[in-house]
Amino acid sequence: MSKVKIVFSVVFLLLLFSQCSTLNDGMIMTVKGPIKATEMGVSLTHEHVLVDFIGADSVNESRWDKSKVSEKAMPYLMAIKKLGCQTFVECTPEYIGRDPILLKSLSESTGLNIITNTGYYGAANDKYVPKHAYEESAEELASRWVDEWNNGIGSTGIKPGFIKIGVDSKTLSDIDRKLVIAAAKTHLKTGLVIASHTGPAIPAFEELEILKNEGVAPEAFIWVHAQGEKDLSNHIKAATMGAWIGLDGIGEDNCEDYVRMIKNLKENDLLNKVLLSHDAGWYDPAKENGGEFRGFTTLFEKLIPLLKAEGFTEKEIDQLMITNPAEAFSIRVRNIKK
């Protein structure tokens, strides 16, 4: 073979390899263990089975009966499975009702992949931030979260599949900043994506700035509740930087708003940065029989048909429901190369 031919073959193989890696050969961590990113399938990226609003100082697992929570959540999970959903990302952090054992048993009985998280929730006037988070450094908090990744949550052996934090909606407080720094440090050691309950653009860009200072790329950041930002040019700005835009409050009454937000991103060639979900559920231990449970089917039954009516192709729907979640939740360090 001539030298030129060899060079061409090498270039061709390299191209082929880079194509394969864009199809995502990554790994996802579910409550039952790792799966390939290609096995994640149609995914809901921000939902809840259980949320307990009692506060960080009083929350504990004796406040709910796992079998009652399961009984309540089960029909809603089976309903999405019937509609083709394969993976359910449970976004309830520790100190507000995270229950990995409950999620694992639901995953076993429904056949859905379920993903849980590590991290603390600093929104809602810091009611869900445990006391030690004020005393410890960001490094110390990160080492707790990294330990959950390395050794499992408590004694369950169940590992988190992403980092979930939350920040206040006006501007970041001191504790919010510490949580974001801890999340950045955890990301660099684990490759877990950071989903941060945020809302408006001001705190979102403050978070992206902190991540940048910590050497973490915007691709590692999911701007949760981005629908809370009314100036849609900020979605474009953050997605262009590389951040994930979580449009995750889909409900019966707001699908037209979501179509508008998704179309805006599509028109800017940024459909590959959008994550969709309902932020629905959940069993609330403070309420009689867990209170009213909001289901997870609107996206399938109402939003997707509306998007199709607006000219979205099957390929574009797959991008939103399959490709983007697999890319976002793949375990991979996304650092800023210096």
Token readout for 237 is 């700005």
Minimum CB separation from Zn ion for residue 197, in Å? 6
Task: Rank residues 64 and 312 by Cβ distance to Zn ion and give the closer one.
Answer: 64
| Stretch of 86-94, 161-169, 260-268, 291-299 contacting Zn ion, by CB under 5 A | 86-94
Residue whose CB is nearest to Zn ion in the complex, by number: 279
Q: How far is CA 111 from CA 11, 80, 98, 104, in A?
A: 42, 11, 20, 10
- Of the candidates 162, 55, 177, which has an alpha carbon nearest to the alpha carbon of residue 119? 162
Task: Rank residues 217 and 246 by Cβ distance to Zn ion and give the closer one.
Answer: 246
Minimum CB separation from Zn ion for residue 21, in Å? 31
Query: Please, which residues have CB within 8 angstroms of residue 136's CB and are 6 or more apart in sequence?
Result: none
Residue 57 φ/ψ, nearest 5 degrees: -80, -15
By CB under 5 A, tell whether 195 contacts Zn ion: no
Task: Rank residues 91 and 201 by Cβ distance to Zn ion and give the closer one.
Answer: 91
By CB under 5 A, tell whether 279 contacts Zn ion: yes
Residue given tokens 């999340």 in the structure block: 183
By CB under 5 A, tell whether 115 contacts Zn ion: no
Site for Zn ion in 9-68 (CB under 5 A): none
Minimum CB separation from Zn ion for residue 271, in Å? 23
In angstroms, how far is CA 250 from the centroid of its own chain? Answer: 15
Minimum CB separation from Zn ion for residue 233, in Å? 25
| Stretch of 184-192, 255-263, 275-283, 326-334 contacting Zn ion, by CB under 5 A | 275-283
Task: Rank residues 229 and 279 by Cβ distance to Zn ion and give the closer one.
Answer: 279
By CB under 5 A, tell whether 90 contacts Zn ion: no
17-47: buried (b, 16+ CB within 10 Å) or exposed (e) per residue? eeeeeeebebbbbbbeeebebeebbbbbbbb
Q: How far is CA 155 from CA 11, 50, 67, 158, 322, in A?
A: 49, 20, 20, 8, 32
Minimum CB separation from Zn ion for residue 137, in Å? 27
Minimum CB separation from Zn ion for residue 159, in Å? 21
Minimum CB separation from Zn ion for residue 285, in Å? 17
Token readout for 34 is 């790792």
By CB under 5 A, tell whether 229 contacts Zn ion: no
| Stretch of 57-65, 69-77, 90-98, 238-246 contacting Zn ion, by CB under 5 A | 90-98
Q: In what order do the strands lie in the sheet with 194-197?
A: 117-118, 162-166, 194-197, 221-224, 244-247, 274-276
> With CB under 5 A, what is the number of residues at the site for Zn ion?
2
Judge contact between 327 and 24, C-beta under 8 A: yes
Minimum CB separation from Zn ion for residue 45, in Å? 11
Task: Rank residues 121 and 312 by Cβ distance to Zn ion and give the closer one.
Answer: 121
| Stretch of 143-151, 265-273, 279-287, 317-325 contacting Zn ion, by CB under 5 A | 279-287
Of 31, 35, 80, 91, which one interacts with Zn ion (CB under 5 A)? 91
Query: Please, which residues have CB within 8 angstroms of residue 88's CB and are 6 or more apart in sequence?
Result: 43, 44, 47, 77, 80, 112, 113, 114, 115, 296
Residue given tokens 């307990």 in the structure block: 52
Give the count of beta carbons closer than 10 Å to the beta carbon of residue 152: 14
**Contact residues for Zn ion, defined by CB under 5 A:** 91, 279
